Amino acid sequence: MTGFDTSRLSPEVAAYIRSLETRVEKIEALETEVAALREENQQQKNQLLKMQSLNEQLVNLRRRTFGRSSEKVQYVDGEQLDFFNEAETCSDAGAPEPGKTTPVKAHTRKEKRTKAELTEGLEHKKVLCELPEDQQLCARCGNKMVRIGEKYLRSELIIIPAQVSVVDYYAASYKCVHCEQETGESYILQAQAPVPVMKKSMAAPSTVAYVMQEKFEKGVPLYRQEQYWKGQGVELRRSTMANWIIRSSRWFIPLWNLLRKEMLQQSIVNADETRCHVLKEDGRESKQMSQMWVYCSPEKKIALYQYHPSRKGQVAKEMLGDFSGYLQTDGYSGYHCLDRVTHVGCWAHARRKWVDCFVDGKPVAGSKSETAFQLIEQMFQLEQTWEDTAPEERRRLRSEKLKPILDRYWEYLASFEAAEGTALYKAQNYSLNQKQALDAVLLDGRLELTNNLAERTVKPFVMARRNFLFCDTAKGADASALCFSVIETAKRNGLDPFGYLMFLLQELPKLGPDPAEKQLLPLLPWSPDLPGYCKIKQ
């Protein structure tokens, strides 16, 4: 209405029009102010959500660094957060006075093991404590006394540190005297020595096996092994031991390939990955992180490690090839490129997302995270009661009793909306995005609710990584993957890692770099032909 010609109108009408124009201008100004306030309000909300998200990250980081790792929870009453009215809310006229007894829940204590149980299976050596010759004379008559018996005093556990010695091999030569007498020429034959692990090296199978076990099973870095051997009088440098590991681990490649073939023939594979820091790698900066991939089978006790610079799903696709069974993972999207498999989710990860919503690791009673957490807990409690049930029966029980809880869980997640960026939002969306994979546990009774098998398999590498921190080269990372594969597969099959490593390093060099599958079958960890020293003493 601005600019309207009011000269032809009466003064009253013109004044009314001018007042309308003023009101319109005020309305437009107010609308502009409201829009600015709305924008400012939205910015403040975004800032608040960002601060809330950062605060949650800080709390979770502190909890993971300084808190306990167990997901067992203690509940927090919602009223406990307001401590100003503590006296009123906590008062109880029926509370016992000091000095009165309060009944507590009875419990049983595990009995201590006896000395016989502690030393069961160990060799016992008898030591008889006798009197010196000059004290075997009778104090009364001076004649020599005779031993009439013995009395048990105590038992001691003796530990003998690692002993180092050098074995010098000589080849005996033989000739035929008869041929020499008849023809004048000697027929000479020379004995063959055992095939060495590495040519032109003093490393014996037992030495290399010991270094591998110390580094990859016990997490002892090579520089600490170097210090230990120096204390034993042996100048064994870390560079030498690293060279032994890289060169000797190549013998494990054919066995690793056969184990991979066996794993791909199974119905279920669990997979996971973790970071691996390699300092010297062509085309990559030293600060870039690579990956150690882990694959294992719950049916055939196989654990395989694979080093790769990338975390792309193509790595898993090349590893698993034409595998078409159940693949259980933690929900990482990189595995979605595998379209021939049935993806199975991990309820432990889903539960962990709700735990991240707790206050100092404790759920607030009545909160959304507490309700969702309790539904998952009910599923785990049911699974514990079916632990020893046959797979087909477990599948039936899951359809009858587990599925209703699942349905309630999904209905509850669809009943509320969480603020974007918060821990509650992340927990809700993790489950919703993994719904089909999490529901897949109903398809087969052999499936587990969690991917804990892969988590436990990756843990030895993570624990060892805390000690050796990084791999120097990609060859060292590949050697680590091969050694971890052999050691963890041996442990899962009840073998002594040192004995099995030594056995493989004795036998594989005899077969050459490209042995036939038939030759490798007796070397598999479940082979009945393995020698006794490969098995753990019971």
Residue 378 lies in a domain: yes
Rounded to an integer, what distance in angstroms lies between the CA atom of residue 103 and that of residue 101?
7
- Residues 341, 463 within the same domain: yes
Q: How far is CA 188 from the centre of its chain?
A: 58
**Number of domains forming the structure of the chain:** 2
* Position with higher pLDDT, 537 vs 6: 537
Q: What is the pLDDT of residue 187?
A: 81
161-213 pLDDT per residue, tens: 777 888 888 888 888 888 878 887 878 888 888 888 888 888 899 999 999 99
- Residues 245, 331 within the same domain: yes
Percentage with pLDDT > 70 across the chain: 86
- Residues 221, 261 within the same domain: yes
Query: Is residue 83 pLDDT above 60, yes or no?
Result: no
Tell which of 429, 450, 471 closes a domain: 450
439-451 pLDDT per residue, tens: 999 999 999 999 9
Q: What is the pLDDT of residue 10?
A: 76
Query: Is residue 528 pLDDT above 70, yes or no?
Result: yes
Task: Look up the pTM and report it.
Answer: 0.76
Residue 140 lies in a domain: no
Residue 251 lies in a domain: yes
Query: Is residue 124 pLDDT above 90, yes or no?
Result: no
Residue 361 lies in a domain: yes
- Residues 432, 456 within the same domain: no
Q: What is the largest CA-CA distance in the chain?
A: 158
- Residues 339, 363 within the same domain: no
Residue 111 DSSP symbol: P
Residue 352 belongs to domain spanning: 346-450
Average pLDDT over residues 473-492: 92
Percentage with pLDDT > 90 across the chain: 35
Average pLDDT over residues 145-152: 88
Q: What is the pLDDT of residue 236?
A: 87
- Residues 377, 522 within the same domain: no
* Position with higher pLDDT, 177 vs 412: 412
**Mean pLDDT of all residues belonging to the chain:** 83
- Residues 336, 460 within the same domain: yes
Residue 115 lies in a domain: no
- Residues 418, 380 within the same domain: yes
Tell which of 431, 450, 469 closes a domain: 450
- Residues 353, 464 within the same domain: no
Q: What is the pLDDT of residue 349?
A: 92
Q: What is the pLDDT of residue 192?
A: 82
Question: Quick one: CA dihedral 361, 366, 372, 374, positive or negative?
Answer: positive
From the list 525, 516, 532, 462, the residue with the least C-alpha distance to 493 is 525
Rounded to an integer, what distance in angstroms lies between the CA atom of residue 463 and that of residue 69?
15
